[in-house]
Amino acid sequence: MKATIIGSWWAIPVPRAFCQCDICIKARSIGYPYKKHGSSLYIHDIDTLIDCGEDIVDALNDRDIKNLDNLFITHWHPDHTFGLRPLLQSYIDFATEKAEKQITIYLPKKVHEDLKHHFPSISYFVDVLGLAKIIYIEHNETVNIGDIAITCVWFTWSESETFGYLFEQNKKKLLYTPCDTINFKQEIKDIDVLITECGIFDYDKVKTEIWFPDLMTKLKNSDIKKTILTHIEEVELRNFGRWYLEEMKKKYAEIPFEFGYDGLEIDI
């Protein structure tokens, strides 16, 4: 299975408009690795994307992705779904307003209901333009695309608003849980690669996200072979500096993890 991290950042891409901090200046003048997109993952074997923030088209172009057949959505938040319009309309003939291709969107019913409330245009793209079709996938349900099995995993039992997806191929397993993992209550076992959110270094200021040391404790007590951290917060690097990430790798050297970045390729 081959996957690429299309975006490794949090809700606001870098460079942030108007910002003159060191990171944003370098992102404009140098590009990658300073340039960052909102969190998303692409599975090459089955032309499948997970989540699509507002900057998804730019992110896909930067990675030279040439096709999309399937889209999985973890939760409704704008940095994970509001790129739906430019993404789906990439496959429309604007002269005839007819869909040239239909994307299959997989998501839990709860996420669909939230999305219709916060992003009602989704119904127009699906029901009127026919650019996508919706297939519900609930907790512990599995769909097979090619030779990859994808299983939906809820975070907080039946009241969950955020979900992850487990990809399995040839007995290899990749679990993607990019956001809101402070609420993740599932036991993780026998995972080859976990891609999950970095968490917060400065817990005194932000208490709504998982604290980085707590995440390290969870990883230490698991049997995950490798963890890649994504959804890295810009404000954290402003406060602590890029060097701090290297310090954390040294501090928790016994845990097999790395900080993800846009364009990181994963083969399992």
Average pLDDT over residues 95-106: 95
Its domain, for residue 194, covers 2-267
Average pLDDT over residues 63-80: 97
pLDDT at 73: 98
First to last CA, the chain: 5
Average pLDDT over residues 164-179: 97
How many percent of the chain have pLDDT more than 70? 100
Q: Which of 24, 29, 25, 32 is closest to 8 using CA atoms?
A: 32
Average pLDDT over residues 131-153: 98
Indicate if the pLDDT at residue 235 is higher than 90. no
Average pLDDT over residues 228-241: 82
Give the highest mean pLDDT range of 6-15, 80-89, 243-252. Answer: 80-89
pLDDT at 164: 98
Contact between 5 and 228 under an 8 Å Cβ cutoff? The reply is: yes
pLDDT tens across 172-208, in order?
999 999 999 998 988 888 999 999 999 988 777 777 8
pTM above 0.75, yes or no: yes
Helix (H, G, I), strand (E, B) or coil at 174: strand
Indicate if the pLDDT at residue 145 is higher than 80. yes
Q: What is the mean pLDDT of the chain?
A: 94
Q: What is the dihedral of CA 89, 97, 145, 81, to 10 degrees?
A: 30
Give Cα separations from 216 to 9, 73, 194, 225 (angstroms).
Answer: 19, 26, 13, 14
Average pLDDT over residues 258-267: 96
pLDDT at 23: 84
Average pLDDT over residues 219-248: 87
pLDDT tens across 104-113, in order?
999 999 999 9
CATH number at residue 164: 3.60.15.10
Give Cα separations from 252 to 23, 52, 206, 219 (angstroms).
Answer: 25, 31, 22, 10
pLDDT at 152: 98
Q: How many domains does the chain have?
A: 1
pLDDT at 150: 98
pLDDT category at 33 given cuts 50, 70, 90 is confident
